[in-house]
Structure 1
Amino acid sequence: MQYLPEKDYDLPRLDLLTLLFESPLSLTTESTILHAEAADATNHITKAQARTIIRRLAHVFRSQFGIGVNGPGKDAVLCISSNQVLLPAVFCAIIGAGGVYAAASTALTVPELTNQLRQSKSKVVVTCSENRSKALNAARACGIPPERVLVLDSMGHRRSLCAADNPGRNYLQGTVEMEWDRVTNIESLENTTVCLLYSSGTTGAPKGVMLSHMNLVSEALFTQLVLRDSKRGKPHLNVHYRTVGHLPTAHIAGCLGYFITPAVAGGTVYWMPRFNIDEFIDYCKKYQMTFLSTAPPVYHAIVRSGRATDHFKTLIRAESGAAPLSLELQAQAEKKLGCTISQRWGMTESTGSVTTMPWGQSDNTGSISPLLPNMRLRLVDERMRDVTGGVEGEILLKGPMITKGYFDNSEATADAFTPDGWYKTGDIGVYKDGKIIMELIKYKGLQVSPVEVEGFLLTHPSVADVAVVGAPDPEAPGNELPRAYVVLKASKRVSEAELQEYVKSNLARHKQLRGGVLFINEIPKSASGKILRRVLRDQARSLTRRAKL
């Protein structure tokens, strides 16, 4: 059985840059400030200024570094940079030159960055001043000369993009412009890779998720059209779109949410170089933030902060993604924000969210919200057979937001899709009362988010990786006991009792590890890096049966 969205749309045949800078579907004007520095908002660029910078940098990437010379979607530029005002312009310029924007987390070590540089086959590196040394060392290991390592500096009213070995040559001072190709061919829109983001894998280097014009355009548009086309009106669209850029842009949430969404929604991102909860809360009040999309740990930090009083009074929409938001945390955060929080669900391979809550609606059941337009969803068992309502199954997806696969990794791509083209998410859900509910542990009628407990356990200095599932309670059929499967860091030691006490001292009573802690060498994961909870749950059930015998 396929689950369908309430409505589908005809997707326009537009490339990403044309959508952002020329299409009436984007709500910005030429004078709209797209990007500003949170610490000093006078350091900003408008839509008109951004377009000019993008065209000039596109010329630089093509003429100076050969990006796009051999055709679109073939030459990658790896970016490892903290958040800054002109980073979105670099993103667009690489695409405008015919290249592929490949993102790397600033948290990567030199060996990790070297592996990603090799895997992406990047020809140029763009970095920031604090990551200059790391970028140079990784480039050297890959045989990339220092003149092809570019350092971007656009905070504090600075405007420079210079080679690491020649700070005197500023590529932002050029005046020659290059027009991007206006792509309308459907095959090119679907199959030309313009962005390469990395998802975690089970072993070895993470895999590069290939995102096309079609992936990014459909994700950007549909999340907005659902709000604009709401049957309950659109009062929020009369409020200026403002958000604080606090998430890293090496991941889909920051990349899409800050590089692309503002230009479609019609407003401004106030950039923080790195996240700090106190500064974040202050900026939300200072810039009268109207839109917040973030992850559960940020909502948790807001709840725990004594700083937040009336700082979120201008907020009209709050969303949570990246991990399930527990009902307990949702209620606490909504009280702090004075605004309902809706859950969105997706992953890098789906270009971010494939669900969202329509404007004017809310949910406190723990569902993942309705499907976005043009998406299709199935729930299947281990043999890929559709399950009936009320039965848990793995979530499969189809739609314009789904990646074509992993760069230069045909084996992982084949493993991630069914023979008839459905993407296997690895996540478990159940269809109940017209909604998809993600897998939750049910302890004495209370819901426990396994991801919340996992996130907390990962803060322990000895824990390298963890998965939490519900183990059957031998004394109460139907009840589940949270159990943790833990991978320890090299040369680290911690006992089961110590981890149980760690959770007991910090989380609510129903979230305790009453099912125990098992130490294993590796967490079973899918090709996309999703925890294969079904494997662990089956193991937990098997252990329970043997214990009864």
Structure 2
Amino acid sequence: MPHTDPSTSTYPSAYDRLTAPGAPFAVVAGEDGRAVYAQGPRTLREFVEVTWGYGERPFLVGEHRAYTYREFFAVACALARRFTEVYGLRPGDRAVIAMRNHPEWQIAFWAAQLAGLVAVPLNAWWTEDEFAYALDDCRPRVLLVDGERVGRVRDWARKAGVPGVVFHGDGEAEEGFERYEDLPAADPALGPPDVDVRPEDDATIIYTSGTTGRPKGAVATHLAQAGAAMNPRFHAAVAALERGEIPGQGPAPVSLTTFPFFHVAAFTSFYAVMAAGGTLVLMRKWDAAKALELIDRHGVTHYAGVPTTALQLLDAAQDTGLGTLTHLSTGGAAAPPGLVARCPQGVEARNGYGLTETSGGVLAAFGEAYRAFPGSVGRPTPVTEVRVAAPDGRALPEGEVGELWLRGQSLCRGYWEDPEATAAAFTPDGWFRTGDLATVREGRVSVVDRLKDMVIRGGENVYCVEVEAALHDHPDVADAAVLGVPHPVLGEEVAAVVRLRAGARAGTGADELRAHVARRLAAFKVPAHVLVQDGPLPRNATGKVLKRELREDVQARVTRTR
């Protein structure tokens, strides 16, 4: 079962109060022996149906259109009925969603859930070839895309004979697609289609980020996604109790959620907002100054995004402050330990850990504990088990570094039609091998590196995350990535790619940065090569550095300097 910290007085007490029999987050053993929430929804259809009760509260606030909960539910039900009555779709059919963070993304996703379809959110940044790979893999029966994406799926749709709906399209409808704006007006009295959605049915296929190879489709059941919807509510309740507040009291959150909706980090955010009847404020494209304007205009209380954008927001707010903001949450990529210290008093920083395969966040750090232990990603939810495993799978003692294994309600059931990949990642008794190296101390989990990204220098393990954190501590460093490069004697040595802040001191260079790291870490961890570059580091949609894109250039530059 989850680790807790007996050395603190608040967390175990809050945990016990929330998970005791009959409490809101009580846990029971599921049919397969894994922990599941005793209460709460069992399907995403159940989850979204309840939000109708929030009525005229604002839900989705886009740049050109806003929806109340009642309006949202009516149009989602109308689209769901169109799927079943006009398109002839049946539960289990796949519905691809590919668009920016428009309000209509949420309408398309929840319409699929109300119709019992398997929603397949695809990366809106993908090229036509990347889309074709995923479309061939999941074989959808309907495409729900925006006008920017329709050209990238048009040829595939025509060849496969798959219809679609275009949202925010320009001009005439594409052949085989109908414009969402041209559909009949929703009748709020009709409700969703009459279909049977069971907890064991598949709810989503979400493709992995593909930073190390071809993306794989992680398949989550409704029960798993229902657990994922409860997880952020649990951590929010613990945080409230630790602040001396009653969970669920006070105004509903107004969240500027900047994660792309196709990523599971966004799911953690919008599940939490919807459960509380809160508001999602959306941005078409990230811009820190624009974000501050939206915070002021809409009274935003919660920010959610990758660490890179959170740091940019803090930079932009140095002179003006963060206004109404009370919470700043990061995820999707490792947060530099110094981020929490930059949050002003009155703004609660939150950090967490989750993966595509866990359907979003399953660990979280917040409040004073996060400030005291900024290198931690926190503690697990009550339906998440944690193991730090040796290569043979045996659990390691507290404090030792091993691979982080997870098991629990929100984990996906495997990869879409890929039994080999599923067997490689999941043990027969349900543990997921994350590929991350971690330690557990007094219940707090700290991720030290990716298993495959760790540098082995002359037999010594160098955890890239640790070196990156040391570089981020330098006041002139805006971004940093650490990786291994081949060495004829040592096997590998440490290299770093660094981007400096605008206005960095003229003397800041490789030697100073190496000396800075040397004052904090052992000599074998100090980068042998520090490469300063002007442009941004390559990152995927959730802020993770694409080290495979850096590696070839770094190796070439290192070879020239030897």
Q: 1:432 to 1:27 in 2, by over 3 A?
A: farther
1:11 corresponding residue in structure 2: 39
After TM superposition, the structure 1 = structure 2 runs for residues 137-536 of structure 1, keeping only pairs within 5 Å, are 137-140=155-158, 142-145=159-162, 148-153=163-168, 167=179, 170-173=182-185, 175=187, 177=190, 179-180=192-193, 188-189=198-199, 191-201=200-210, 205-228=214-237, 230-231=240-241, 232-234=244-246, 237-258=249-270, 260-305=271-316, 308-332=318-342, 334-335=343-344, 338-357=346-365, 362-365=370-373, 366-439=375-448, 447-449=466-468, 468=483, 483-484=494-495, 509-510=516-517, 514-516=527-529
State whether residues 35 and 45 of structure 1, in contact with CA within 8 Å, keep that contact through their aligned partners in structure 2: yes
State whether residues 319 and 343 of structure 1, in contact with CA within 8 Å, keep that contact through their aligned partners in structure 2: yes
Shift of 1:162: 8.3
State whether residues 267 and 360 of structure 2, in contact with CA within 8 Å, keep that contact through their aligned partners in structure 1: no
Confirm whether residue 67 of structure 1 aligns to residue 89 of structure 2.
yes
State whether residues 496 and 527 of structure 2, in contact with CA within 8 Å, keep that contact through their aligned partners in structure 1: no
Shift of 1:202: 6.7
2:101 corresponding residue in structure 1: 83
Question: In 2, distance between residues paired with 1:106 and 1:503?
Answer: 37
Shift of 1:430: 1.1
Shift of 1:245: 3.1
Question: In 2, distance between residues paired with 1:451 and 1:58?
Answer: 50
Q: 1:193 to 1:18 in 2, by over 3 A?
A: same
1:57 corresponding residue in structure 2: 79
Q: What letter corresponds to residue 179 of structure 1 in structure 2?
A: P
Shift of 1:169: 8.0
Shift of 1:407: 1.0
Question: In 1, distance between residues paired with 2:111 and 2:253?
Answer: 24
Consecutive unaligned residues of structure 1, counting only runs of 5 or more, are: 461-465, 476-480, 487-500, 519-528, 537-549
Question: In 2, distance between residues paired with 1:359 and 1:459?
Answer: 25
Question: In 2, distance between residues paired with 1:434 and 1:166?
Answer: 52
1:92 corresponding residue in structure 2: 110
Q: What letter corresponds to residue 281 of structure 2 in structure 1?
A: Y
2:152 corresponding residue in structure 1: 134
Which of these residues, 42, 57, 60, is aligned with residue 32 of structure 1?
Answer: 57
Equivalent residue pairs, number: 470
What SS is found at the alignment partner of 2:415?
Answer: coil
Consecutive unaligned residues of structure 2, counting only runs of 5 or more, are: 5-11, 20-25, 27-37, 455-460, 498-507, 519-524, 532-543, 552-562
What SS is found at the alignment partner of 1:65?
Answer: coil
Question: In 2, distance between residues paired with 1:416 and 1:302?
Answer: 36
Question: In 2, distance between residues paired with 1:202 and 1:133?
Answer: 25
Question: In 1, distance between residues paired with 2:216 and 2:125?
Answer: 17
State whether residues 257 and 305 of structure 2, in contact with CA within 8 Å, keep that contact through their aligned partners in structure 1: no
What SS is found at the alignment partner of 1:14?
Answer: coil
Question: In 2, distance between residues paired with 1:508 and 1:65?
Answer: 64
Q: What letter corresponds to residue 120 of structure 1 in structure 2?
A: C
Shift of 1:183: 6.2
Which shows bigger deviation, 310-319 or 246-255? Answer: 310-319
State whether residues 265 and 354 of structure 2, in contact with CA within 8 Å, keep that contact through their aligned partners in structure 1: no
Confirm whether residue 125 of structure 1 aligns to residue 143 of structure 2.
yes
Question: In 2, distance between residues paired with 1:96 and 1:79?
Answer: 15
Shift of 1:288: 1.7
State whether residues 403 and 434 of structure 2, in contact with CA within 8 Å, keep that contact through their aligned partners in structure 1: yes
Shift of 1:115: 0.7
Q: Deviations over 1:8-27 (max 9, x none)?
A: 422335321322332xxx69
State whether residues 380 and 394 of structure 1, in contact with CA within 8 Å, keep that contact through their aligned partners in structure 2: yes
1:108 corresponding residue in structure 2: 126
Q: 1:505 to 1:371 in 2, by over 3 A?
A: same
Shift of 1:344: 0.6
Question: In 2, distance between residues paired with 1:331 and 1:129?
Answer: 41
Shift of 1:152: 0.9
Question: In 1, distance between residues paired with 2:131 and 2:470?
Answer: 27
Which of these residues, 20, 26, 45, is aligned with residue 67 of structure 2?
Answer: 45
Question: In 2, distance between residues paired with 1:217 and 1:179?
Answer: 19
Question: In 2, distance between residues paired with 1:192 and 1:2?
Answer: 26
Question: In 1, distance between residues paired with 2:335 and 2:127?
Answer: 30
Q: Deviations over 1:121-179 (max 9, x none)?
A: 11111111122212213323x5235xx1321129xxx9x99876555982253549453
State whether residues 514 and 526 of structure 2, in contact with CA within 8 Å, keep that contact through their aligned partners in structure 1: no
Q: What letter corresponds to residue 87 of structure 1 in structure 2?
A: W
Task: Give the superposed CA RMSD.
Answer: 4.2
Q: What letter corresponds to residue 121 of structure 2 in structure 1?
A: A
Q: What letter corresponds to residue 32 of structure 1 in structure 2?
A: R
Q: 1:82 to 1:200 in 2, by over 3 A?
A: closer
State whether residues 236 and 247 of structure 2, in contact with CA within 8 Å, keep that contact through their aligned partners in structure 1: no
Shift of 1:324: 2.0
Q: What letter corresponds to residue 516 of structure 2 in structure 1?
A: R
Question: In 1, distance between residues paired with 2:149 and 2:126?
Answer: 10
State whether residues 153 and 161 of structure 1, in contact with CA within 8 Å, keep that contact through their aligned partners in structure 2: no
Shift of 1:531: 11
